[in-house]
Amino acid sequence: MRARRTAAGRACGLAAALAVAALAAPGARADEGALDRFLDPATAPFIPIPEIDLDPYSGTTLGIIPTVLRTNTQDQIDEIIAPDVIRNQYFGWGSRMRAFGFPSVDEEWMVVGGGKQRVEREFDGRYAAGELRTSAWSWSVEAVYDRSGSPRFFGVGNASLTADQTNYLDDQGRVDLSLGRNFSPALQLAYLLRVRYVDVLPGVLPQVPSITTLFPGEPGIGTEHELQQRVTLTYDTRDSPVIPHSGERLLAYMGVVSRAFASSVSYTYVGAAAQGYQGLDQDLTLAWHAALRFMPSARGAPFWALSSLGGDQSVPGQSEPLRSEGVDRFIDHNLSAAGTELRTRVANFDAFGTQVILELAPFIDTGKVFADAGASPLSHLHTAAGLGVRGIASPHVVGYVDMGYGQGRGAVFSGINYPF
């Protein structure tokens, strides 16, 4: 239910990470056969990347992604074209089209869309400018439609039980408009306006109870709409917004949704987050993050608007990662979370006219959700540890496969961009 990456984005990230493994192989010799030349990144028109997605909720997805990377005169990737043909164990055959563009280091765009035989459809289009905050203003616009049959709900609380797992059909659409005033490259005040509708319908997965069976009266089931407004103050000294090696990012935010302003639900939230990056040497970066989120007024708030712990991404103002669990595994009014990883570059090579870097990153995630704002944020924590494998094509692209384990369970995630 979060404003998060679509399944297409996750698959593209896995494609990028798998591409690293494929591109790391020695190139074909000039006297080898046509098939060898076709599979050689230096001569092939595209690289056929196998798609293997093991999302803990979505089940196994297998397919093929013929990926094309286009580079500019500086040998940097400025466009990615990555269609696919897939089969998911729950929703059958499907296909998706993805296009990512990086006209400059200060702007980017993406268009992703597709569907499967049953239930699932998706679209995500985004354009952002002023990413480096060197001009007076930064802005972005994004439109998303996502109909997903795989989300889970376990109940509210830090001690919600795995045995209470339920499934629901999430049918939602949103438009985000963001405008930031840059007082300097480090200091920004940003305003987000989000218009969203959410329809939570009975679950569709076999052998998983529907949310309407175990939690029939849970706020958020059915159709709701909201006009969300958020203000965020950010201090950012990272040397790169995508692939940071040094610096920090500190932010504080507050948001409001009110029935008095064209919404069917009401709640408020405030929070703070910090991220830090220390280059221990040229190929070694210690990265860490910490976050707090509170909901001062949330009585009757829909479950999909609560603070969330689980999954593989830190989304300040919304959710934090716990890479042994699926997205939204633990939800409640308030949240504390932290994590660290040691990003180690172990190989680099030239492919498709650009330099590709292979990175390994052992990591630890920890956090909790809680109802009472006065409760200790450091007790009864959930913890996960694991290893991330990343493929990097500077300055725009990070594809990852992260494998985490905790509390007797494991999960594998893939996507684009670092977890934090």
- pLDDT, tens only, 328-349: 999 999 999 999 999 999 998 7
Q: Is residue 28 within 8 Å of residue 40, measured between CB atoms?
A: yes
Q: What is the pLDDT of residues 22-62, one digit of tens each?
A: 444 444 444 455 556 555 555 555 667 778 788 889 888 89
Secondary-structure breakdown of the chain: helix, strand, coil percentages, each rounded to the nearest 5: 10, 55, 35
Q: Which residues contact 310 (CB under 8 A, 6 or more apart)?
A: 319, 321, 322, 325, 326, 327, 328, 329, 330
- Look up the CATH number of domain 7-48+120-416: 2.40.160.50
Q: Is residue 191 within 8 Å of residue 176, measured between CB atoms?
A: no
DSSP string, 260-293: GGT-SS-EEEEEEEEEEEEEEETTEEEEEEEEEE
CA distances from 251 to 112, 138, 296, 330, 353 (A): 29, 16, 19, 23, 37
DSSP string, 166-191: EEEEEEEEEEEEEEEEESSSSEEEEE
- pLDDT exceeds 80 at position 9: no
Considering only CA atoms, which of 15, 266, 8 is closest in space to residue 147? Answer: 8
- pLDDT exceeds 90 at position 215: yes
Summary mean pLDDT of the chain: 89
Burial call 201-218: b when 16+ CB within 10 Å, e when fewer: bebbbeebbbbbeebeeb
CB atoms < 10 A from the CB of 412, how many? 17
Q: What is the pLDDT of residues 169-197, one digit of tens each?
A: 999 999 999 999 999 999 999 999 999 99
Q: What is the pLDDT of residues 250-267, one digit of tens each?
A: 999 999 999 999 999 999
% of the chain with per-residue pLDDT over 70: 88
Q: What is the pLDDT of residues 145-158, one digit of tens each?
A: 999 999 999 999 99
- pLDDT exceeds 80 at position 76: no
This prediction's pTM: 0.89
